[in-house]
Amino acid sequence: GMWVQQVTMSWLVYDITGSGAMLGAVNVARAVGTVGLSPVAGVVIDRVPRRTLMLSTAAWLFVLSIVLSAVLFAGERAVWYLFAFAFLGGVWEKLDIEMQVVKIREYKTFGDMLANKEMTPYHREMADSLLDSMYAQVVDGIAAQRQLEPAAVRAAIDAGPATPDEL
């Protein structure tokens, strides 16, 4: 959607003016809207629920496209309209950040770190399993080096801080 709009607006600017400089300038206007307002967009993205943000940006970009189409069909071919639309489109394009994570199985939890504030049960199960495995490796390593039973090492760890001589 956005690429088609950007290419179309660039084509229109070149068609109206025949100037490569104006073509570059309309893309700079879009970039100023996109890059220049990144800090503001970051604050908005952090504070507005994802669904609300997604729907409002999609609606804004739709309305912007309809208005641009109406202006052009009305015969207005002033370049400043295109600069204004490029800038406004760039502003809202920055807010139109979508998460593109496909979850194939419940144990594919990488996207959960980005999408959820809390661990899912599957994510917790995986993390617990990984940590239990690492803990067992540490206990077995200490037990082998100190020639102790793993149960004695676990008991010493559970008892709290211990110096190497206490093990």
Q: What is the pLDDT of residues 19-46, one digit of tens each?
A: 888 888 888 887 887 777 777 777 777 7
Burial classification of residue 163, based on how many CB atoms lie within 10 Å of its CB (0-12 exposed, 13-18 middle, 19 or more buried)? exposed
Residue among 24, 5, 29, 4 at smallest CA distance from 14: 24
Residue 136 pLDDT grade (very low, low, confident, very high; cuts 50, 70, 90): very high
Three-state DSSP state, 162: coil
* Res. 111: pLDDT tops 80: no
Residue 17 near residue 79 (C-beta atoms within 8 A): yes
144 pLDDT more than 60: yes
Spatial separation of the C-alpha atoms in residues 164 and 48, rounded to whole Å: 52
Specify whether the CB–CB gap between 47 and 82 falls below 8 A.
no
Please tell me whether residue 100 adopts helix, strand or coil conformation: coil
